[in-house]
Amino acid sequence: MTPLNLFLLLSALLFSIGLAGALTRRNAILVLIGIELMLNAANINLIAFWRFGPNPEALTGVMFAIFSISVAAAEAAVGLAIILAVYRHNKTTNLNQIDTLKG
Amino acid sequence: MNAFPWLSLLTALPVVGAGVVLVAGARSDRAARFLSVGFAVGALCIALLLWHGFDVNVGGMQLVEQHAWVPALHIQYHLGIDGLGLSMLLLSAIVTLISLGASWKIEDRVPLYFALILLVEACLFGAFTALNFIHWFTFWELCLIPAFFLIKIWGGPRRTPAATQFLVYTMAGSVAMLLSFLAMYLAANTFEFEELATIAQSGRLLPSLAASSSWMHLTPEHLGLVIFAGVFLGFAVKVPVIPFHTWLPDTYAEAPTGTTILLTGAMSKMGLYGFLRILVPIFAPQMQSVLTPLLWMAVATVVLGSLSAMAQTDLKRIFAYSSINHLGYCLLGIFAAVRYAGSDAQLLTQRAAALSGTMLQMFNHGITAATIFWFVAILETRSGGARELSDFGGLRRNAPVLAGMMGIALFSSLGLPGLNGFISEFLIFKGAFPLATWATALCTIGLLITAVFILNVIQRVFSGPLQERHSNFLDLSGKEQMLLAPAIALMFLLGLDPQILLSHLNATVLQLTNTIKF
Amino acid sequence: MTPVAVDQIFVTTKHLLMGYVPAFWQPLASAILSVVPVLVVFPALFAVTTVLERKGLGRIQNRLGPNRVGPFGFLQPAADGIKSLTKEDVVPRDADKVVHFLAPILLVLASFIVYAVLPIGRNMVIADLNSGLLFFFAVGSMVELAVFMAGWSSRSKYSLLGAMRAVAQMISYEIPLVLAAVVVIMAAGSLSLPAIAEMQSGYTWIWPHWYVLTPWGFAGFVLFMISATAESNRSPFDLPEGESEIIAGYYIEYSGFKFALFFLGEYLGMFATSGLAITLFLGGWSAPFSFLTWVPSYLWFFAKLLVLIAAFIWVRGTFPRLRMDQLMGFAWKFMLPMTLVNVVDAGLWHFMPSGVVRGVVCAAVIVIPFALFSRRAQEGKKLQIRTYRYAE
Amino acid sequence: MSLFFLITAAIAIGGTLAAMTRRNPIHCILSLALGLVGVAGVYLALGAQFVGFTQILVYVGAVAILATFALMMTQGHIVSALIEPRRAFSRSSVSGFVTAAGVFSVLGWAAQSYRPLTPSTQQAPAAGAKEVGVALMHTYVLPLEVIGVLLTAALIGAVVIALPSEEERS
Amino acid sequence: MSWIVHNLWLVAALPFAAGGVISVMKQRQRTLAAGLAVGSMALSFVLALMAFVQVLTSHGEATRQFSNFAWFQFGAEWVRLGWLLDPLTAVMLVMVTFVGLLIFIYSIGYMAEDENFKRFFCFLALFAGAMLGVLIANNLLLLFMCWEIVGLTSYLLIGFWYEKPSAAAAAKKAFIVTRIGDLGLFLGMAWLYAQTGTLLFYDAGRGCLEANALTTLAMHTTVFGLTLSSAIGILIFCGSAGKSGQVPLHVWLPDAMEGPTPVSALIHAATMVAAGVFLLARVYPLLSAGVTHGMTTTVALQVVTWVGAITALFGALVAVAQWDIKRILAYSTMSQLGYMMIGLGTGGVSVGMFHLITHAFFKALLFLGAGSVIHGCHGEQDIRFMGGLRKAMPVTFAAYSCGMLALCGVPLFSGFWSKDEILHSAFVWNLSRGPFYIGAIGALLTAFYMTRQMIYVYAGTTRLAAESTHGEHGHSGAHESPKVMTVPLLILAVPAVVLGFFGTPVWPWFQSFLEGDTANVSFGALGGAFPLMIVSSLIVFVGLGLGWLLYGRKLIVDVGALDRIESAQPGLFHLLSGAFYINELYAATVVRFTLVAASVSAWLDRWIFGGVVRAISTIFVLFAKVDSFADTHVVNRGFDAGCGSVSYGGSFLSKLQAGKVQRYLKFVGVALFVAVALLFWGGKA
């Protein structure tokens, strides 16, 4: 069990927690939060691999994490805006009641 | 002088100006006009400062600014000027002022108009200082956008098709050029003009082209020709070279006259600048191998341009074609200069003469054509928009000063000695005659026809009995005379002492002369 | 004792004390030795400030202010403290008790943590992080969360409204706040606050190298202070508390010591942002003239801090409160563009050769847009003395 | 294996677990903020100081606040409506937990059995503001610009999407 | 070198400066304008005299002095300009400044009533400056520049009464026709420059008219077997043919009489048209380069001679049948210019130049006389409406007679000596006698048409009162002109009579002067020339007699009466009066061709070049249409059919699409589980 494995394990755990939340919660906002959590777990992976990787001077993992955070922020903004719009339309954020995409 | 990024400042100034004009001009059209002139004067001052600080003994680039832009693609922010670039900067600055002067009477959406003009100026500055293809190409294309809107919004009755034609046609040329440059990038892995020229002159370009893009199994020579044709097309449309000129008369005629001034005075020089900066150093062997058709094109541009001008009755169309004709001489000079001349010192001198003449002609034509269109704008304003030859006649009675000053400008365009046009045409013919004898001899027809239609304009507009409806035609006011006088004075100055300009161009000419290798 | 020794007296004392601590405990001891003085000094300053503010406002409003407790009322804070400690701690029945309890704590905590990176004197900083400024803003943003928690957990319309107002306002003004600070980062090339302060500690003849003395620095300072005022919800941007509309905003349902904690948190935040402004623009702990360097650096820091606090008080006593739309419009239409222009200006400053020309050009670049924006802002508005018309 | 890492990892796990299990969404968001602070701590433990502070600034300062705002603007006024019913053992929940557990099992197994091909350098490299800035302005300038465009687009897009439509406003 | 050589440019610069100053003056500052112009011209005259004296007092090589300077650079080379003082320049300078000065003075009277008085003097001064610039230039480029400015001022002056459409058209015609010739000159110049690397005439052995360059030029042959020097010479001759109104570029000269009469006198008789001859004289070394002992002439000189001969005859013939007093003189000028060309081609510089100088004086005299007549007759120019002016204008008549006799070549008058010398050299030309015979016929015709004109204008009684098409002034009767006009006439009459004595065969001072020698009196030379003198005198008298016979015996009284020749040979007369219909020929060929070419070019532009562009755009539009057609009718229809079956299958799959986002996510999660599991267990195994 190296430190790297420990970080990866943590990341896997956070990822799974996020996934569980995203799968079981009914509130769209919380589902979104779960997804954010999964992104964070991925970021931990990036940083960990950077830190314990063969070439940490390149800062590749850090850069990737920064960009990932930026993208996550953008995603959150747009996602929440969409939830707002959907709420205005359906008067609910319960995902069980939002199924207009039904085939 | 060297540490400070003067060229960036020069390019940025009109952009800032455009912003300020837009914001501050929102309330008062007058403020917009004066502010834009203020910024244009500022740009001219910087250009003059550059002129003053320029080292005339250096043939290469000066005031170089070089920073990595997108390092992964070898795109650089690379600025610099040599004599040619410097003269073009000065020309752009002057022509912009003339354009602003001629646009003074614009009443519709004034701040936007003047801001767009300043944007065009910025793009011109950018294009004339850029030394990296991507950087240069950005400005080259960016230039079209304000020009497009200027035509589209303030143009004549048929402005929409004209603007569209202008945009699409020049875009088509640019796309061809872009493709060619991408191919060269694949081969040479650089967008730098100077590096490309070095590679081409050492003969390494064609083999690597063939290696990197072996398209349809062409031989390296043919591939080189195809690449050359792409770049040539881009410039040929811009200059324009007959038969790629059909956008020009419509555009010039429909554009507001202030814009026409910019188009003919400065933007058409972008094409010739490209010929001298890019085509000649990189593609001299290709040009040499298709020299005969090229010379035919130059002759066609000169002769057909002038003949078509003769057949027109609309003043703006006449001078639009006249512009084609005058730029044809530049083409003649450039094409003659790339003729294989071995190492005969005598012929090298001819080449230098042709190139000097070409650069001088670019400047002179800019000044003269811009001034003539300014006069056309004045005529147009005073006659309530009339531009047909038959609308005028005998104006000299009411407006002797206008007739005199416009006459000087017209005779300058005709190539009268003592005015600026003559020296450049003489140098071109002097240099081109021994290098491309028959083409040069044919081009003299153009000189004659030019005289015919210009005298025709003078006769139809200023001579003969005065038409009834122009009985209240006003002569130039004192203010207008003051504004026009510098342009006229410049014509005399350059006609009598061309050394002013040539001293700055000469080192560049020598360098260019020596870089043409086969 | 030499001036240097006086200047470094706290540092040397700490090192001296550290010598008596076993190696294993040294990190902890060092932290305690650094943190405890901060925990003592700034609440004390809070106490002094409240009485100063009340007296100052009183003078501005042509009354005396507190004058009953102690000489000139200077023991008023002590009285207030005792009062708030002994008051009943009321928690609304419907309130979310845990969050209601955590909110003031988080607020004060966040306000305290930011002092970790603030240099209050030469070599006097708790943690010299190389991303110190980022740390400051990152932790500062937690305050918003605390405010929201307070407002939401109270289950009261007023407090929720106040919280939403406060959060919207703080988010809006955080952008100009950070952008105003960016110019300093550009100039100093560092995010470390001690390094930024060090950069400004030189002198030309007698004049210091403070950033506030450059065109962009001056503009940045003014913009920063405006944003900081809004960020700490102080007048004239104190809408979240707007007594006349929502009584006291997000801490309306708090009482007793929790209420006092909110008060403390607000003032600590104000001190912290003022301290940051001092560090970024006013040269931190450096003396204003080269011949005054013998005065210990921490004294300079606190002197500047007091001046800025006085300015806050003065502003509070002078300006009327803004309307919500004015507040937001001001943030997005004036502050944001101006800070962006200021960033450009700082870049220009960096690339131009130094000299009078640079000063003039850079000043013009910031003054002209300022004139244009403010004229644009006043367009179509009749500016005249308002006559109040009472409700009919 | 520092104490610091253990504490932050515990905060992260605890916070996120709470975020995903609390019934009151506000509590969820607040716990999430706590959990993400923990994650930021993990970053710090890994030596990525800049990323850590950025994490706090972005997630605690922006995303969490944004989420609360969204919550307030959807059902914030009805507190009871926010609270989700207890239905931990409904069919869909169980299947969701099972899926997540399955994913965790494979990921965790992969994580603990991973062995790097090349050994790591022992010394943690500097990843402070300066280094990150230099890298952003040189090697990663194109991605940076792309991200800038993306954020601008997201900003505009979010505003446009969230704007009430014409008839709703009138 | 003396002061005057260094400052020779002042001669040209002074009138230029005067012109420049006048151009910016107010319209009403008439006296000042005239004073400035005349004053500058007088100063130039003084300078010209100084130059003349300078040349006169120097000997041998020193007679040719020059001063060069650098103008501008291209590449490694500099273009250098300079001025030159040699006998040719000196003589021309004195002639031009003297005649010019007199004509300036004359103009004060002639133009007194014109509202554009100031502008007139401005143009005159500019013209004088440019003309003097042509004379002093030591560089073909500088010469060409001044040459063009001369053309411009000529254009401006012909079109001086711009409101008259005919004047404006004539001005344009003059400029364009001369420019055709100038283009030849331009090309010749470019060629010469390319070959010799310099355009300086004399540059201490390196000039293009000096031995080194000429030897090279004469050695190489180029197109049509011409030597380079001849080919360039012929191109240069194009220029001088245009300027000097030689066939076939003569058409502008008669039309140029639309300008004010002093202009006709100054520009189109005395100076500018002579500039063509001067140019040839200047580049004579080039034209004659390669003349070996065995051969006396070159192709270029032959061309010059024959063109001159044709022009001489042509002008004389046409002049016979003209009614306009100035047109007669114009065609006469053409004819005389032809003589000069013959002289230059056969006899060399001195022969041609001698006639140029004498002609300048007597033709200026004749034009000014004609101007005086027109002035006296209130603007009437048709000789049929004149008559009997001998009594009304005695001074003019006397002066005019001198000029007429000199032009006819009556013995002892100046024209006699110069024309005789031309005929002599043509006679001894060893290639052909053709030019001599043509010249002799021309001389006969000259005497004839001048007699006709004299009789029409001065003899008999006045016909001015009769119904006139032009006499809108309403005055009746002619009057003598003011002193300011007649005095120059009288002054000019003197050289018209006596100038010839400076170049008689006995004492060929002028010829020697031009060649830098001193002249000796030798009556022996007379012996060789004497028989020819007798013959030419006879020819002149025959011409005079013929004229008197036809017109003098019975004077014309009726305005509408037919000309004597017209009544006898109407076809011939109309051919002559229509100037052989050359104008019409040009209109039908060259001009029409150009116009057609212009419209063809415009058509090309519109339909071919533009058409291609339009065609391409149409093709694209067509493509788009075809595509959309295919889309709607082919693809969509087929697609619809296909879709039916697909949607049937899809309806089954769509059951999976419950629209529940989380269900999708669950699928993804399961997929992830499976994928990772496969990856690890499958990949490791």
* pLDDT of A77 strictly over 50: yes
Cross-chain CB nearest to C144 (options D30, D65, D72):
D65
Provide mean pLDDT across the span B87-111: 91
Structural domain span for residue D24: 1-85
* pLDDT of C387 strictly over 80: no
What whole-number percentage of chain C has pLDDT above 90?
9
Q: D24 vs C96: CB contact, 8 Å cut-off? A: yes
Task: Tell me how close the Cα of B23 comes to any Cα of chain D, in angstroms.
Answer: 23
Which is higher by pLDDT, C113 or C95?
C113
Residue A102 falls inside a structural domain: no
Contact indicator for E9, E83 with CB cutoff of 8 Å: yes
Residue D133 falls inside a structural domain: no
CA–CA separation, E223 vs B442, rounded Å? 16
pLDDT band at E472 (very low <50, low <70, confident <90, very high): very low
Cross-chain CB nearest to B464 (options E23, E168, E612):
E168
* pLDDT of C279 strictly over 70: yes
Both E545 and E675 in a single domain? no
Strand pairing of B75-81 and C207-208? unpaired
Tally of domains within chain C: 1
How does pLDDT run across B98-109, given as a tens digit for each residue?
Answer: 999 888 888 888
pLDDT band at E685 (very low <50, low <70, confident <90, very high): very low
Both E484 and E542 in a single domain? yes
Q: Do chains A and E touch (3 or more CB pairs under 8 A)?
A: yes
- Measured between beta carbons, the chain E residues lying within 8 angstroms of A22 are 662, 665
Provide mean pLDDT across the span D80-108: 75
Helices (H), C249-355: 256-281, 297-318, 324-329, 336-351
Q: D26 vs C99: CB contact, 8 Å cut-off? A: yes
Provide the CA D48 distance to its chain's centre, in angstroms. Answer: 16
Q: Which residues have CB under 8 Å from B155's CB, separation 6+?
A: B162, B163, B254, B255, B256, B259
> For residue D167, what pLDDT is reported?
65
Query: Hey, is the C-beta of D107 within 8 angstroms of any chain E C-beta?
Result: yes
How does pLDDT run across E96-137, given as a tens digit for each residue?
Answer: 999 999 989 988 888 888 888 898 999 999 999 999 999 999
pLDDT band at E153 (very low <50, low <70, confident <90, very high): very high
Given E577, E592, E624, the domain boundary residue is: E577
Task: Tell me how close the Cα of B340 comes to any Cα of chain C, in angstroms.
Answer: 47
CA–CA separation, E525 vs E452, rounded Å? 35
Which is higher by pLDDT, D11 or E506?
D11
Residue E164 falls inside a structural domain: no
E363 SS3 class: helix
Task: Kindly list the distances between the CA atom of residue E618 and the CA atoms of C20, E602, E610, E621, in Å, as whole numbers in the listed order.
Answer: 94, 22, 12, 5
Chosen from D53, D82, D159 to mutate, greatest number of chain C CBs within 10 A: D53
How does pLDDT run across E261-271, given as a tens digit for each residue?
Answer: 888 888 888 88
> For residue E474, what pLDDT is reported?
46
Cross-chain CB nearest to D109 (options E662, E672, E680):
E680
Task: Tell me how close the Cα of E636 comes to any Cα of chain A, in angstroms.
Answer: 23
Task: Tell me how close the Cα of A56 comes to any Cα of chain E, in angstroms.
Answer: 27
How does pLDDT run across E341-364, given as a tens digit for each residue?
Answer: 999 988 888 888 999 999 999 999
* pLDDT of E558 strictly over 80: no
Cross-chain CB nearest to E605 (options B165, B308, B357):
B308
Residue E539 falls inside a structural domain: yes
Task: Tell me how close the Cα of E615 comes to any Cα of chain A, in angstroms.
Answer: 47
B121 is written with which tokens? 């100026």
**b/e string for E549-583 if b means 16 or more Cβ within 10 A?**
ebbbeeebeebeeebbbbeeeeeebeebbebeeeb
Given E549, E577, E605, the domain boundary residue is: E577
**CATH classification at residue A72:** 1.10.287.3510
pLDDT band at E228 (very low <50, low <70, confident <90, very high): confident
Residue C358 falls inside a structural domain: yes
Provide mean pLDDT across the span C168-184: 89
**b/e string for B241-263 if b means 16 or more Cβ within 10 A?**
bbbbbbbbbbbbbbbbbbbbbbb
Contact indicator for A43, A71 with CB cutoff of 8 Å: no
CA–CA separation, B424 vs B329, rounded Å? 9
Q: Which residues have CB under 8 Å from E547's CB, separation 6+?
A: E447, E448, E449, E450, E451, E452, E455
* pLDDT of C203 strictly over 90: no
Structural domain span for residue C210: 91-376
Q: C130 vs D49: CB contact, 8 Å cut-off? A: yes
How does pLDDT run across E665-678, given as a tens digit for each residue?
Answer: 888 888 888 888 88
Residue C356 falls inside a structural domain: yes
- Measured between beta carbons, the chain B residues lying within 8 angstroms of C352 are 4
Residue matched to tokens 């040479």:
B188
Structural domain span for residue E361: 298-577
Q: C145 vs D129: CB contact, 8 Å cut-off? A: no
Contact indicator for E55, E90 with CB cutoff of 8 Å: yes
Provide the CB-side half-sphere exposure for C359 (13 A, CA). 6
Contacts of C among chains (3+ CB pairs under 8 A)? B, D
From the list B81, B93, B437, B94, the residue with the least C-alpha distance to B273 is: B81
Both E536 and E512 in a single domain? yes
φ, ψ of residue E386 to 5 degrees: the values are -100, -140
> For residue D126, what pLDDT is reported?
67
Cross-chain CB nearest to D19 (options A15, A21, A66):
A21
How does pLDDT run across A21-60, given as a tens digit for each residue?
Answer: 888 887 888 888 888 899 999 999 888 888 887 777 778 8
> For residue D74, what pLDDT is reported?
78
Contacts of D among chains (3+ CB pairs under 8 A)? A, B, C, E
Residue E383 falls inside a structural domain: yes
E84 SS3 class: strand
Provide mean pLDDT across the span E365-386: 86
> For residue E471, what pLDDT is reported?
45
- The torsion defined by the Cα of E456, E457, E458 and E459, in degrees rounded to 10, comes to 20
Task: Kindly list the distances between the CA atom of residue C189 and the CA atoms of A62, A89, C194, C247, D54, in Å, as whole numbers in the listed order.
Answer: 20, 49, 12, 45, 18
Interface of A with E in 7-46 (CB under 8 A): 19, 22-24, 31
Query: Hey, is the C-beta of A102 within 8 angstroms of any chain E C-beta?
Result: yes
Task: Tell me how close the Cα of D138 comes to any Cα of chain A, in angstroms.
Answer: 12
CA–CA separation, E185 vs E228, rounded Å? 14
Residue C290 falls inside a structural domain: yes
Task: Tell me how close the Cα of A46 comes to any Cα of chain D, in angstroms.
Answer: 10
Count of residues in chain D? 170
Residue matched to tokens 């030591």:
E138
Interface of B with D in 114-153 (CB under 8 A): none
- Measured between beta carbons, the chain A residues lying within 8 angstroms of E648 are none
Query: Hey, is the C-beta of A98 within 8 angstroms of any chain E C-beta?
Result: yes
Lowest mean pLDDT among B188-197, C248-257, E298-307, E312-321: C248-257
**CATH classification at residue D40:** 1.20.120.1200
Provide mean pLDDT across the span E323-338: 91
φ, ψ of residue A35 to 5 degrees: the values are -65, -40
**b/e string for C16-49 if b means 16 or more Cβ within 10 A?**
eeeeeeeeeeeeebbeebbeeebeeebbebbbeb
Structural domain span for residue B320: 290-518
pLDDT band at E1 (very low <50, low <70, confident <90, very high): low
Residue C8 falls inside a structural domain: no
Q: B3 vs C372: CB contact, 8 Å cut-off? A: no
Cross-chain CB nearest to D127 (options A59, A74, A87):
A59
Residue D25 falls inside a structural domain: yes
Residue matched to tokens 């200026």:
E364
Q: Terminal CA-to-CA distance of chain C, rounded, Å?
A: 72
Given E577, E595, E616, the domain boundary residue is: E577
Q: E673 vs D106: CB contact, 8 Å cut-off? A: yes
Residue E68 falls inside a structural domain: no
Nearest chain E alpha carbon to A19: E669
> For residue C242, what pLDDT is reported?
66
Residue E476 falls inside a structural domain: yes
Which is higher by pLDDT, B240 or D86?
B240
Contact indicator for B170, B238 with CB cutoff of 8 Å: yes
Query: Hey, is the C-beta of D141 within 8 angstroms of any chain B C-beta?
Result: yes
Tally of domains within chain E: 2
What whole-number percentage of chain D has pLDDT above 70?
79
Residue E197 falls inside a structural domain: no
Contact indicator for E231, E302 with CB cutoff of 8 Å: no
Task: Give the mean pLDDT of chain E.
Answer: 85
- Measured between beta carbons, the chain D residues lying within 8 angstroms of E669 are 99-100, 102-103
CB pairs under 8 A between B and D: 7
Query: pTM of the prediction?
Result: 0.68
Q: B4 vs C368: CB contact, 8 Å cut-off? A: no
Residue D136 falls inside a structural domain: no
DSSP state of A27: B
